[in-house]
Amino acid sequence: MALGEPEKKEEGGAHYFQVGNKVVIPAVGHLFGLKQATSGSYYPVFEVEWAPTFEINKRNEYARKYLENLKKFADVAEDIYIATDYDVEGSVIGYNILRFVFNREKAKRMKFSTLTKEELLHAFQNPIELNKGMIKAGLTRHTLDWYYGINLSRALTHSIKKVGKVFSVLSIGRVQGPMLYFLVRREREIRAFKPRPFWQVILKFRLKGKEFEALYREKQIWEEKRADEVVRSCEGKKGVVKDVKKRVVKKNPPAPFDLTSLQTEAYNLFGYSPKRTLDIAQSLYTQAYISYPRTSSQKLPKQLDLRGILKKLSAQKEFKELCQEILKGEVEPHEGKKKDPAHPAIHPTGEVPKKLTGPEKKIYELIVRRFLSCFMEPAKRESISLTVDINGNEFLTSGSRTLKEGWMRAYKPFLKLQEVEFPEVKIGEEIEVKELEKLEKETQPPQRYTQGSIIKEMEKKNLGTKATRAQILQTLYDRGYIVNKSIQVTELGMTLVEALEKYCPTILSEELTREFERKMEEVMQEKIPMEKVLEEARAVLREILKEFKENEEKIGKILDDALMRTREEERTLGKCPKCGGNLKIIYTKKGRFVGCSNYPKCKNMYPIPRVGVIKKTEKTCEKCGTPIIYVFRKGKRPFKMCLDPNCETKSGWGKKQ
Which residues sit at the interface with Zn ion, rule CB under 5 A?
A: 576, 578-579, 581, 596, 598, 602, 604, 621, 623-624, 642, 644, 647, 649
**Cβ within 8 Å of residue 252, ≥6 positions away:** 334, 378
Contact 626, 619 (CB under 8 A): no
Cα(561)–Cα(160) distance, rounded to whole angstroms? 10
**Judged by CB, which is closer to Zn ion: 193, or 653?**
653
How far is C-alpha 436 from the chain's CA centre? 44
Backbone CA torsion sign across 633, 635, 640, 641: negative
Helix locations, 413-509, DSSP H: 451-461, 469-478, 491-503
Known catalytic residue: 95? no
Cα(347)–Cα(542) distance, rounded to whole angstroms? 45
Rounded alpha-carbon distances, angstroms, from residue 57 to 32, 35, 54, 230: 11, 10, 5, 72
Cα(140)–Cα(91) distance, rounded to whole angstroms? 12
**Judged by CB, which is closer to Zn ion: 196, or 623?**
623
**Judged by CB, which is closer to Zn ion: 551, or 598?**
598
Contact 51, 62 (CB under 8 A): no
**Judged by CB, which is closer to Zn ion: 259, or 576?**
576
- Closest approach of Zn ion to the CB of residue 576, in Å: 3
Q: What is the DSSP letter of 612?
A: S
DSSP codes joined into one string, 147-170: HHHHHHHHHHHHHHHHH-SS----
- Closest approach of Zn ion to the CB of residue 608, in Å: 14
Cα(139)–Cα(137) distance, rounded to whole angstroms? 6
Contact 279, 471 (CB under 8 A): no
**Judged by CB, which is closer to Zn ion: 38, or 651?**
651
Cα(467)–Cα(342) distance, rounded to whole angstroms? 13
- Closest approach of Zn ion to the CB of residue 623, in Å: 4
Cα(324)–Cα(316) distance, rounded to whole angstroms? 11
- Closest approach of Zn ion to the CB of residue 409, in Å: 52
Rounded alpha-carbon distances, angstroms, from residue 45 to 56, 150, 153, 174, 546: 17, 8, 11, 15, 12
- Closest approach of Zn ion to the CB of residue 614, in Å: 16
Cα(95)–Cα(100) distance, rounded to whole angstroms? 8
**Judged by CB, which is closer to Zn ion: 266, or 576?**
576
Cα(623)–Cα(648) distance, rounded to whole angstroms? 7
Q: What is the DSSP letter of 60?
A: G
**Judged by CB, which is closer to Zn ion: 329, or 580?**
580
Look at residues 279, 291, 330, 320 and name the one whose alpha carbon lies nearest to residue 118.
Answer: 291
Cα(75)–Cα(73) distance, rounded to whole angstroms? 6
What phi and psi values does residue 280 have, to the nearest 5 degrees? -65, -45
Rounded alpha-carbon distances, angstroms, from residue 179 to 44, 113, 183, 402, 459: 23, 31, 6, 40, 11
- Closest approach of Zn ion to the CB of residue 30, in Å: 49
**Judged by CB, which is closer to Zn ion: 462, or 598?**
598
Helix (H) or strand (E) holding 348: none
Look at residues 541, 543, 536, 539 and name the one whose alpha carbon lies nearest to residue 520.
Answer: 536
Helix (H) or strand (E) holding 559: helix 552-571
Name the packing angle between helices 259-270 and 274-286 (round to 10°).
120
- Closest approach of Zn ion to the CB of residue 584, in Å: 10
- Closest approach of Zn ion to the CB of residue 621, in Å: 3
**Judged by CB, which is closer to Zn ion: 532, or 623?**
623
- Closest approach of Zn ion to the CB of residue 644, in Å: 5
Q: Residue 306: count other Cβ atoms within 10 Å of its Cβ.
A: 21
**Judged by CB, which is closer to Zn ion: 615, or 623?**
623
**Judged by CB, which is closer to Zn ion: 22, or 578?**
578
Cα(470)–Cα(346) distance, rounded to whole angstroms? 17
Partners of residue 35 on adjacent β-strands: 49
Choose, from 292, 364, 411, 481, the residue flagged as catalytic: 292
**Judged by CB, which is closer to Zn ion: 317, or 656?**
656
Q: Is 431 helix (H, G, I), strand (E, B) or coil?
A: strand
Q: What is the DSSP letter of 208?
A: T
- Closest approach of Zn ion to the CB of residue 613, in Å: 21
Beta strands 108-109 and 81-82, pairing class: parallel
What phi and psi values does residue 325 have, to the nearest 5 degrees? -65, -45
- Closest approach of Zn ion to the CB of residue 598, in Å: 5
Helix (H) or strand (E) holding 639: strand 639-642
Which residues form the catalytic set? 292
